[in-house]
Amino acid sequence: MSTPETPPAVPPPATDPMKGIRGVFAMTLVLEAVVVLLAMLVLPKFGEGATTEGVVSMTVLAVAMIVGSGLQRRPWGLAYALVLQIGVFACIAFVPAMWVIGIVFVMVWGGLLLLRRDVARRMARGDLPSQRT
């Protein structure tokens, strides 16, 4: 009596490919923090000018993004980064042009999530170069 053969298991990659993706997420947050800080330069030209609330909220958002770049190694780091995008849109109250920054970074994060999904699918199929023997 013969036993049915099970398909060979997909070998794990030699290195963690998601580590590179998390690095891209971290650098995107740093870049976004720089853009938010640069947006404060135009804060005095709009509305009531550079209010204390505007400066504090945008500074806190930028610092939270820099902290978030270091938290990307945590399992919840991506969720933290995506929640910060809500903060970008909340800053529209202080700098109306922040909606442009918000839309651009929503597209960037959307592309990064698609890239992450593609790498995860290829890793599950065993198609990554580090999984080939």
Would residue 133 count as lying in a domain?
no
Residue type for position 104: V
Residue 47: per-residue pLDDT: 60
Would residue 129 count as lying in a domain?
no
What is the domain count for the chain? 1
Cβ–Cβ under 8 Å, residues 11 and 131? yes
Q: Which domain holds residue 60?
A: 18-121
Residue 73: per-residue pLDDT: 93
- DSSP assigned state of 79: H
Residue 8: per-residue pLDDT: 61
pLDDT tens track for 29-73? 999 999 999 988 877 776 666 778 888 998 999 999 999 999 999
Dihedral sign, Cα of residue 98, residue 28, residue 109, residue 53:
negative
CA distances from 96 to 18, 46, 58, 102 (A): 35, 8, 13, 11
Would residue 30 count as lying in a domain?
yes
pLDDT tens track for 1-26? 556 666 566 666 667 778 889 999 99
